[in-house]
Chains A and B, each alone.
Chain A
Amino acid sequence: IAGITQAPTSQILAAGRRMTLRCTQDMRHNAMYWYRQDLGLGLRLIHYSNTAGTTGKGEVPDGYSVSRANTDDFPLTLASAVPSQTSVYFCASSDGLAGGSDTQYFGPGTRLTVL
């Protein structure tokens, strides 16, 4: 089934630990995105990648890093987790074509709790 998968579904993490959230898409989309969603706030962009081999910073990149070694995978790493990074994390992908309806499709999300 075509789409985006994320792992893990949920995770409880001790502060200071390193964590990588995984995201894989099989739609051959050029662009991929990582968002966090917190109660009462809109989705906030953490990092994005317009194409394999390139990445960019979004609105809230501090404390997070990403890599895009190939088209399908876009992992998000928290080098040293802090409680303020407790959130629901969504990965998304799109064709990445400038202009027109560049619709983003979302994975199921990872619920992360940092204690």
Chain B
Amino acid sequence: GQNIDQPTEMTATEGAIVQINCTYQTSGFNGLFWYQQHAGEAPTFLSYNVLDGLEEKGRFSSFLSRSKGYSYLLLKELQMKDSASYLCAAMDSNYQLIWGAGTKLIIKP
């Protein structure tokens, strides 16, 4: 079956760095997406990886290892506004997204 695993909740301190991990099992693979979702709002696109390695985009970076079925989202210089849920989604061979349940990130002052 197809499955995405990510931690349910994480806590970090303002100004610090946090890494949110995601492992996936899909029938075929066409890329890994990260979305941010603030409470009561729609998911918004953060990053896309299809090749192994690290993609950096400002304070946010995303890493992919296809051989390990593993990705992480790295958030640097955390700000209070980064408190949100972070959704990992893998695109399968039919170009459908398989979604994880999301990681709720709590930022403390």
- Interface residues of chain A, those whose CB is within 8 Å of chain B, are 40-45, 48, 58, 90, 98-99, 101-109
Taking the closest CB of chain B, its distance from the CB of A102, in whole angstroms, is 6
B1-35: CB near A (< 8 Å → 1, else 0) gives 00010000000000000000000000000110100
Contacting residues, chain A, for B99 (C-beta < 8 A): 42-44
A42:B102 contact, CB within 8 angstroms: yes
B48:A43 contact, CB within 8 angstroms: no
A41:B42 contact, CB within 8 angstroms: no
A105-B45 contact, Cβ under 8 Å, with A42-B87, A43-B87 = yes
Q: What number of B residues sit within 8 Å (CB to CB) of A? A: 22
Contacting residues, chain B, for A103 (C-beta < 8 A): 33, 45, 48
Contacting residues, chain A, for B41 (C-beta < 8 A): 108-109
Check: B91 CB closer than 8 A to any chain A CB.
yes
Contacting residues, chain A, for B102 (C-beta < 8 A): 42
B35-57: CB near A (< 8 Å → 1, else 0) gives 00000011111001010000000
B90-109: CB near A (< 8 Å → 1, else 0) gives 01000111111110000000
Taking the closest CB of chain A, its distance from the CB of B21, in whole angstroms, is 15
B101:A41 contact, CB within 8 angstroms: yes
A40:B101 contact, CB within 8 angstroms: yes
Question: Which B-chain residue is minimally distant from A3 (CB atoms)?
Answer: B42
A58-B96 contact, Cβ under 8 Å, with A42-B4, A102-B91, A108-B42 = yes
Q: Of residues B30, B42, B99, B102, which shows the largest number of chain A Cβ atoms within 10 Å of its Cβ?
A: B42
Taking the closest CB of chain A, its distance from the CB of B79, in whole angstroms, is 23
Contacting residues, chain B, for A107 (C-beta < 8 A): 42
Q: Which 7 A-B pairs have the closest CB atoms?
A: A42-B99, A106-B42, A43-B99, A101-B48, A42-B101, A106-B43, A103-B45
